[in-house]
Amino acid sequence: MNPGPIPIARPLIGPEEKAAVLEVLESGVLAQGPRVAAFEAAFAAYCGVKHAIATSSGTTALHLALLAHGIGPGDEVITTPFTFIASANAILYTGARPVFVDIDPLTFNIDPDLVERAVTPRTRAILPVHLFGLPADLDRICAVAAARGLALIEDACQAHGAEYRSQKVGSFGTGCFSFYPTKNMTAAEGGMITTNDDEVAERCRLLRQHGMRRRYHHEALGFNFRMTELQAAIGLVQLGKLDGFNAARQANAAFLSKHLRTVQVPTVPAGYTHVFHQYTVRVPDGNRDRLLAGLREAGIGAEVYYPGLVYQQEPYRSMGYADHLPAAEQAVGEVLSLPVHPGLTADDLDRIVEGVNRLC
Ligand SMILES: *Cc1c(COP(=O)(O)O)cnc(C)c1O
């Protein structure tokens, strides 16, 4: 029998999610009902924070979190160029300016020494990304933020459940999560903001819904960034499965790291819990694209996250960005992500190992 292709990601939707969605449809309450509130409460408890605010996506969570911290025109926000473009776009949406600093080549996350050096009198926030499910160096980033009076906005869109020194990401500053289908848990689309700051939470709730506390009285220019009851119903079920999904990702990653011989496997520094949103290896010496093509031919859904840096994308170039950050630029030429999702079988894992070891 010819085995089918192994996808890079696959949402795991079971009978519980289907039943939860049907229940919402039958209830007739499709928006602004009890399930969004229940999902927020459960997510806040899971992350160990006082507040969680559900949104329509991870992108709108980031946008709202920045606005709630008062970030706007004239401000600078320090972030990484090696991320999905939404991390930086959210900064632009507020009128502030993303300032890119280079990454640590071992973890792919923002380099805290460079963060410190990039602080100017205009800097208002640091926006680290917990890329691929590995927390950024939070001790040192929190120390810079505290010493300089800066907000900390964590892009945890790839890191649901990841921990730094036994503390969940999203609880160090204001956390932003995504529930897009490829993430560690899904709600089809959706996002969540987590925070211990009462004022930030209040501001997020206000701006999420047209700046409206009392019906048709608008205190501020807000948005419609709401999550639906259908999304929340799926998200609640998925949150209950998240630890199991992450454990399966970690076991798959451990298997790959044990058996892959020819590529540089992911680093997990002491004190960090990696939840392997992606299992990303480095393929040096210009062999990455050849390996990628060979794996695709063999039905193994490898992908390059990301083939370019944010400042190399057209919207940023046309704004005059001309950064040159060597560690990040080297990474985009060498990284390759292999399937690690919880839907993989033992056969799938064997095929991935065999394919990489044979082709590289
Ligand atoms: C997925 C993702 C986002 C955006 O989330 P959406 O729900 O797709 O809007 C932002 N940042 C990172 C790092 C992501 O991976």
Which residues, 6 or more positions from 145, have their beta carbon under 8 angstroms from its beta carbon?
126, 151, 152, 173
Amino acid, res. 297: E
Do 328 and 103 form a contact (C-beta atoms < 8 A)? yes
Closest ligand 1 atom, residue 129 Cα: 13
What pLDDT sits at residue 262? 93
Is residue 56 within 6 Å of ligand 1 at its C-beta?
no
Do 306 and 162 form a contact (C-beta atoms < 8 A)? no
Percentages of the chain per state (helix, strand, coil), in multiples of 5: 40, 15, 40
Structure tokens at 184: 């560690």
Is residue 128 within 6 Å of ligand 1 at its C-beta?
no
Full 3-state SS string of 244-311: HHHHHHHHHHHHHHHHCCCCECCCCCCCEECCCCCEEEECCCCCHHHHHHHHHHCCECCECCCCCCHH
Closest ligand 1 atom, residue 57 Cα: 7
pLDDT in tens, the chain (360 residues): 567 899 999 999 999 999 999 999 999 999 989 999 999 999 999 999 999 999 999 999 999 999 999 999 999 999 999 999 999 999 999 999 999 999 999 999 999 999 999 999 999 999 999 999 999 999 999 999 999 999 999 999 999 999 999 999 999 999 999 999 999 999 999 999 999 999 999 999 999 999 999 999 999 999 999 999 999 999 999 999 999 999 999 999 999 999 999 999 999 999 999 999 999 999 988 999 999 999 999 999 999 999 999 999 999 999 999 999 999 999 999 999 999 999 999 999 999 999 999 998
What pLDDT sits at residue 2? 60
Calpha distance 166→271 (Å, rounded): 7
- Residue 225 C-alpha to ligand 1 middle, in angstroms? 15
pLDDT averaged over every residue in the chain: 97
Element containing residue 232 per DSSP (H, E)? helix 229-259
Of 92, 180, 184, 225, which is best to mutate to test ligand 1, by the most ligand atoms within 8 angstroms of its C-beta? Answer: 180
- Residue 62 C-alpha to ligand 1 middle, in angstroms? 9
Cα-based angle 306, 308, 311 (whole degrees, multiple of 5): 125
- Residue 86 C-alpha to ligand 1 middle, in angstroms? 6
Amino acid, res. 49: V
pLDDT digits (tens, 9 = 90+) for 98-123: 999 999 999 999 999 999 999 999 99
Q: For atom 2 of ligand 1, which residue has the closest CA? A: 157
Is residue 58 within 6 Å of ligand 1 at its C-beta?
yes
pLDDT digits (tens, 9 = 90+) for 275-332: 999 999 999 889 999 999 999 999 999 999 999 999 999 999 999 999 999 999 999 9
Is residue 109 within 6 Å of ligand 1 at its C-beta?
no
- Residue 285 C-alpha to ligand 1 middle, in angstroms? 30
**What single DSSP character describes residue 342?**
T
What pLDDT sits at residue 285? 85
